[in-house]
Amino acid sequence: MATVIIPTPLRKFTGQKTKLEAEGSSVKEAIEDLALNFPDLKKHLIDDNGRLRTFVNIFVGDDDIRDLQNESTTLKDGSVISIIPAIAGGSH
Amino acid sequence: MSLSITQDARERIIHDAIQTFPDECCGFLYGTETGDDRLILEVQAVGNSKDGDKRRRFEIKALDYLRAERYAEANNLLLLGVYHSHPDHPSVPSEHDRIAAQPYFSYVIVSILAGKYNTLQSWRLNDASQFEEETISRSQFSN
């Protein structure tokens, strides 16, 4: 069981919950478990091809999963996953 | 849907935008919320991590975002949004801003023209993923 930290902009899709528990031995499984329980959250995390959205970063502890094994990054009991929305923009 | 902002927070945003000109500046907004009305009590400037043209693009590092969420929680504040500047452009969100925008967040944009403060406006995505302007008032708790 991993703890998932929900970022402020997505809390309206989790009933204002800031932390959730998710089942899974990998990041992919945990995110899928979360999407199953919170369908409104799903479209903000996973695209139509079942991949993590480009505008979403996932950290396990303080590490970006891109520096680990991406979605296959294994989880331990008590792992903390942070969902981090990409923040960007520009004038024109 | 309104946004109040303390005098100090407002001045910090404008100061950051002028100092960073001609590049875009960016940072976080912290405060409290009552229903649809928000009060910005504190702002925090962060580096623009965009690789490439910082005069027309900004990006905030994921680790800076993680720290901002932790800061809000530790200080009993809400992370209510982000601010950034539009050098030599109006304080109106671009299509690029809209596509990258997150739900819920307030997006404060400050326009700087030729290095000088021009305007400051705030925007929030509606349920159709279009920006709507938030009315800005200066906080009665100005410091």
**Percent of the residues in chain A that have a pLDDT greater than 70, as a whole number:** 100
**Percent of the residues in chain B that have a pLDDT greater than 70, as a whole number:** 97
* pLDDT of B43 strictly over 60: yes
Count of the separate structural domains present in chain B = 1
**For residue B143, is it within any domain?**
no
pLDDT digits (tens, 9 = 90+) for A53-70: 888 999 999 999 999 999
**Distance from the B60 Cα atom to the nearest Cα atom in chain A, whole angstroms:** 5
Q: Which residues of A15-35 are buried (b: 16+ CB within 10 A; e: fewer)?
A: eeeeebebebebbbbbbbbbb
Tokens coding B134:
């938030």
CATH superfamily label, A2-85: Beta-grasp domain (3.10.20.30)
**CATH number of domain containing B128:** 3.40.140.10
So what's the ipTM on this one?
0.90
**For residue B11, is it within any domain?**
yes
A56 close to A83: Cβ distance less than 8 angstroms: yes
* pLDDT of B143 strictly over 60: no
CB-count burial class (<10 Å; 0-12, 13-18, 19+) for B32 = middle
- Nearest residue on chain A to B69, alpha-carbon basis: A7
**Distance from the B98 Cα atom to the nearest Cα atom in chain A, whole angstroms:** 8
From chain B, the residues in CB contact with A63 under 8 A are none
User: Lowest-pLDDT range, A4-18, A46-60, B66-80, B122-136?
Assistant: A46-60
**Residue range of the domain that includes B110:** 2-138
Residue in A1, A2, A3, A6 with CA at minimum distance from that of residue A83 = A6
The pTM score is 0.93
pLDDT digits (tens, 9 = 90+) for B61-101: 999 999 999 999 999 999 999 999 999 999 999 999 999 99
Indicate yes or no: CB of A88 within 8 angstroms of CB of B103: no
Indicate yes or no: CB of A59 within 8 angstroms of CB of B62: yes
From chain A, the residues in CB contact with B72 under 8 A are 8
